[in-house]
Amino acid sequence: MIHSGELIQLVSPKGKRYLRVFDPDQELHTHDGKLILREICELNYGDCITSHLGKSYTILKPSLYDLLKNIKRKTQVIYPKDIGYILLKLSIGPGATVIEAGCGSGALTMALAWFVGQEGRVHSFERRPEFQALCADNLARVKLLERVVFHVRDIEDGFAVGEADAVFIDVRTPWEYLDQILDGIKNGHPVGFLLPTMNQVSLLLAGLEQKPFAELEVLEIFLRKYKPVPERLRPEDRMVAHTGYLVFARARKERRRVPVAV
């Protein structure tokens, strides 16, 4: 049974998707006619609901991917293909404490909040209040807001939330904030960056080399989708050719030397 307040995704016969918080008192008006959402109370995910024009809509449980595709955006966002790798490299899991900047529209914030679980925390830094508000709105809609602590300020002023398990930075000039990042990350833990141009990557690498960071990695991720037609299996005509370059490093703040026994 699907309960009031749960997230649902209704998929039309032509594949159009409607993501909603289920409210049995609402109706959904579509090109295929009106859907009386109260009927969903008797149904399960995977079942169908029929419009007053006789069109069948499938009810799906939204995945995190669906939620990310649905966020309201006013900034460039990090794409799911990049987010997947970021989560692995930063080892984001239940109970983790993560610092990110800037939150922008909140695509990465949403994924981080999902994976840190109820016990984890995302400290999200953003200098523009209107983007922080947009991010909070996007998170509230999918009920992940309470896992995020927002800080509306410039990261030039530092993080001041203690040392996190991981840090991810998506701002235009990250090489200007390397000292602040070192203060905000546990020694030996991972730091990641996303940058849209190679020029920025070069400047960041030059900066990282001057500071106690190790294990540098630079990469980009290509995703090519295929038309799912068994007898004519081939790639789709278009793909997103460029999103951003990813850079990862480990903080190596000080070396503790173990005295040699004599």
Ligand X SMILES: C[S@@+](CC[C@H](N)C(=O)[O-])C[C@H]1O[C@@H](n2cnc3c(N)ncnc32)[C@H](O)[C@@H]1O
Which residues of the shown chain bind ligand X in the complex (CB under 6 A)? 75-78, 101-102, 104-108, 125-128, 131, 154-156, 170-172
Q: Are 18 and 31 in contact (CB under 8 A)?
A: no
Nearer of residues 57 and 193 to ligand X, judged by Cβ: 193
Minimum separation from the CB atom of position 113 to ligand X (A): 12
**Cβ 137 vs Cβ 116: under 8 Å:** no
The nearer residue to ligand X, 156 or 209, going by C-beta atoms, is 156
Residue at shortest CB range from ligand X: 102
Shortest CB 242 distance to ligand X, Å: 14
Shortest distance (Å) from residue 15 CB to ligand X: 25
Query: Least distance (Å) from ligand X to the CB of residue 75?
Result: 4
* Rounded (5°) CA angle 116-118-121: 50
Task: Name which of 156 and 217 has its Cβ closer to ligand X.
Answer: 156
Phi, psi for residue 238 in degrees, rounded to 5: -120, 150
Q: Which is nearer to ligand X, 32 or 192 (CB)?
A: 192
- Nearer residue to ligand X within complex by CB, 75 or 187: 75
Q: Which residues contact 167 (CB under 8 A, 6 or more apart)?
A: 98, 99, 100, 181, 184, 185, 189, 190, 191, 192
Alpha carbon distance 104, 176 (integer Å): 19
Q: How far is the CB of 6 from ligand X (least distance, A)?
A: 25
Token pair for 157: 């002023």
